[in-house]
Amino acid sequence: MTHHTTTVTDSDPGTPSRGSRIILAGAALDNDNRGVEALGTSVVAHLTRSPTVDRVSVLDDGWGVRPDHGWTQVATRVERVGVRNSRRWHRRESWARIRFDQALGGLGNPVLGRLTEADAVADLSGGDSFTDLYGPFRLATICAPKEAAIRAGRPLVLLPQTFGPFSTVDGRRRAERIVRATALAYSRDEWSHDRLLELAGPDVDPARLRRGVDVAFGLRPQEPDAAIVARLTTLAGEPVVGVNVSGLLRDADAARRFGLAGDYIATLTAVVRALVAAGAFVVLVSHVHGSDPKENDAAALDRVRASLDERDRQRVWRLSPRLRAAELKWCIARMDWFTGSRMHATIAALSSGVPTFGYAYSDKTHGVFGTCGVADHVTDARSVTGLEVVERALDSFAARDTTRRALAANVPAVVDRAHGQLDEVLGAVTAWRGSDAVGVVA
């Protein structure tokens, strides 16, 4: 394996005349997936608190370059830049057009203008989408900003995320090329770190491949509207539990695709019934919305609620799907126990010190729970279903006081790491701007 350097220039490399300009990819701020929104919001909030950052350009699937008016109270300029993996390649937001324009020197493409000016491209891959598990089109979309940064010679930073799995030769080779061309890469758990090292190869510079934690651990909660606050307040004095049901796992196609052991909806319905029978009040929490019925958690929650009898429904309430990620975290933080299959719904709970049981469909959940010292509260939906899941969930619910103490001991360090790793990135960006070149693995 050879090594090369990516040249990073500025008007005066020794004394940068402006703050850093950073592109954030793989975490659109208005995403219907509240987990992706949580990732993007956490990073942008941290970057805008730094006096060293002049501009943050967040890639999304909109059109053109637009100011983000949600950050008007900060000195840093925040903007949204539209990019799409679209066949309408004549549009300058299309990655096909971007590649074409990039090969010809830019041609005034505004996306490439931002890329040329960027001091770094920070990429989150939606937290867990740097994999071929979701198909080649999704992988191509996830890889596009990374590859554009590499072609432009900009320092690429892979923020904490899951790496893999890769089941195809083409997918794995593509990921290897990207990882070996990064300036910095962070895994978000030990399992992912092992995968990251495998992708980088034996000659990797370990200083560039770092252990991190999911950036959503640093998301600051935000109080929702008064009606929701009042409703949660009325539940004080009895055990309140949150249940997230993933729309991604609800039908037979998903069971085959992810290798689920049984009927996911029937299992979660049985868990809700058992929690009500144990004296809990259940709050149903959706974390992914939008028009795609294969992704929408609301449709899955509808099926669970429809399967309950009227007596059980009296002890079940559903949070509004309109809540943003920070508002959902505020609500989840007020629960006594939580269970879910959406990774970032469970991270909202764990990071708030709420005892949590993960019903997982991939290895990523076990790794993230492990960072908080509660990996034994994860059950794999690919091997366990039905009554055994109900029993494990009830055991976790019964042990919530012990789990809460474990989280109180472990989570503060994880939250500190969520902020500290972004400070490391900012320090690296400043150093790159003050030097002639950035070394990368190649």
Q: What angle do CA 164, 166, 172 make, to 5 degrees?
A: 105
pLDDT attached to residue 7: 38
Confidence check: pLDDT of 228 > 60 = yes
Determine whether 230 is exposed, middle or buried from the number of CB atoms within 10 Å of its CB (0-12, 13-18, 19+).
exposed
pLDDT attached to residue 18: 81
Q: At 6, is the pLDDT very low, low, confident or very high (cuts 50, 70, 90)?
A: very low
Q: At 354, is the pLDDT very low, low, confident or very high (cuts 50, 70, 90)?
A: very high
Q: What's the N-to-C CA distance of the chain in angstroms?
A: 7
pLDDT attached to residue 89: 76
- What stretches of 24-135 show up as alpha helix (H) in DSSP? 34-48, 95-103, 110-117
If one looks up domain 226-414 in CATH, what number appears?
3.40.50.2000
Distance CA 186, CA 197 (A): 11
Q: For the chain, give the percent of residues with pLDDT over 90.
A: 81
CATH 3.40.50.2000: which residues of the chain?
3-218+415-441, 226-414
Three-state DSSP class for 357?
Answer: strand
pLDDT attached to residue 111: 94
Distance CA 326, CA 329 (A): 5
Output phi, psi for 20, to 5 deg: -70, 150
Which tokens go with 50?
A: 């730094």
Confidence check: pLDDT of 11 > 80 = no
Three-state DSSP class for 288?
Answer: strand
Q: Domain 3-218+415-441, what fold?
A: Rossmann fold (3.40.50)
Distance CA 254, CA 199 (A): 28
Q: For the chain, give the percent of residues with pLDDT over 70.
A: 94
Are 381 and 360 in contact by the 8 Å Cβ rule? The answer is yes
Question: Taking residues 356-364, what's their average pLDDT?
Answer: 92
Distance CA 279, CA 315 (A): 9
Handedness of CA 406, 381, 219, 243 (dihedral sign): negative
pLDDT attached to residue 203: 87
Q: Dump pLDDT digits (tens) for 138-160.
A: 999 999 999 999 999 999 999 99
Q: Dump pLDDT digits (tens) for 155-196.
A: 999 999 999 999 999 999 999 999 999 999 999 988 899 999
Which tokens go with 128?
A: 């867990």
- What stretches of 2-108 show up as alpha helix (H) in DSSP? 34-48, 95-103
Q: At 292, is the pLDDT very low, low, confident or very high (cuts 50, 70, 90)?
A: confident
Question: Taking residues 348-376, what's their average pLDDT?
Answer: 95
